[in-house]
Structure 1
């Protein structure tokens, strides 16, 4: 359970502000005005602290509650600007577009991809098939995963399909993330980007109905993660 001790604002206000920022295309100054119209006076720097402080924990709770994914996995990376440099957001979705996992990385290499695949398997189980583009790093990461499975004595390895046009599922799914991050005009630090993106991915999972709480509005589903 999250603790809101020391916030000086009701829990519902904090969660509403965080949810609104990670769900809609607004800047912190826009959100400051939106909250003021609702009778809550806040500074945009306070909103920033709330998003960074709570988004990661809410994302962890969402990963535990989301419905199981399909054993077919589509993986790709997109670009996020941090400190005026482009870094990589690795993302995996299943054949129905449900989010399986995500990871922000400063590198786009075999080591980073291997770590992402191991993390995804740890959170979602072993996929039967993974579809990737023509990236050599992605292919090497999957080979490392299969080598590890052989070393552990597994007889069923992950099928690797490296066909660019088949990767449209995850490439289309990137669009929501990019639309939300566009007004942010880049991040100033890696840790703030990582936390904020975790919140955005959580809102995206709720939008796709992955928490099996479709009868509740999006904000109520988001707020339930704090309990």
Structure 2
């Protein structure tokens, strides 16, 4: 029940009250506040388990950043994806300078323990400064047209931001989006590149991994 509620909340653009209503239709009486607590308690744990099951990332990483307005203050959501569109990590920061870029690079490398062969960014100079210090031997391509993978991966975030009527704090945004990017992406393969049979197989695999990693945890 808990894993299903968390799945509904992260995979679809549903509010907590929407999830409460769906569960009620199935005879499960639980408040939206309980669902919120489940998301806080189990969402990050589920995402961490799914992240461990992911294959090694591709060797080309795309970076992009978008603004988030939190309590009237401008923040930036830094995001990295590989050439397959898999979100590697995200980081909410108050800055958009070289220091912020280096912090994101170091966080990403520490989490993945793997270096890419090439990175692709837009024209923000902060990336170049961070790359020279943190990834000096990696090729760097700057192009706003080649960076569509990273830019498109922001769309689910924007939808959730509207649904949640903006994030309340940087900590809340980081906590939710870290889990959301992994759980949402786990069930969203690049369907337009797959045959119907391959997509059904990938979907069945995704559900199998989800059940293995979440049901065992909640049963403890």
Closer/same/farther in 2, CA of residues 86 and 43 from structure 1, 3 Å limit:
farther
Instruction: Render the CA deviation track for 1:42-89: whole Å, top value 9, x for unaligned.
Output: 222221111122222222222211111111111101233433434222
Counterpart position of 2:143: 163
TM-score normalised to the size of structure 1? Answer: 0.80
Q: 1:77 to 1:19 in 2, by over 3 A?
A: same
**Residue 190 of structure 1, aligned match among 139, 162, 170:** 170
Q: Which position in structure 2 is the counterpart of 1:45? A: 33
Is contact 2:87-2:182 (8 Å) kept? no
Q: 1:17, CA displacement in angstroms?
A: 0.8
Distance 1:219 1:35 in 2: 19
Gaps of 5+ in 2: 191-200
User: 2:50, 2:183 within 8 Å by CA — same for their partners in 1?
Assistant: no
| Unpaired stretches in structure 1, ≥5 consecutive residues | 1-12, 148-156
Q: 1:111 maps to what in 2? A: 99
* Closer/same/farther in 2, CA of residues 225 and 190 from structure 1, 3 Å limit: farther
The structure whose RCO (Cα within 8 Å, separation 6+) is larger is 1
- Which stretch of the first structure deviates more once superposed, 17-26 or 93-102? 93-102
CA root-mean-square deviation: 2.2
Determine whether 1:214 maps to 2:202.
Answer: yes
Structure 1 residue 18, shift from structure 2 partner: 0.9
Asked if the contact 1:23–1:203 (Cα under 8 Å) also holds between the matched residues in 2, the reply is yes
**Distance apart, 1:217 and its partner CA:** 6.4
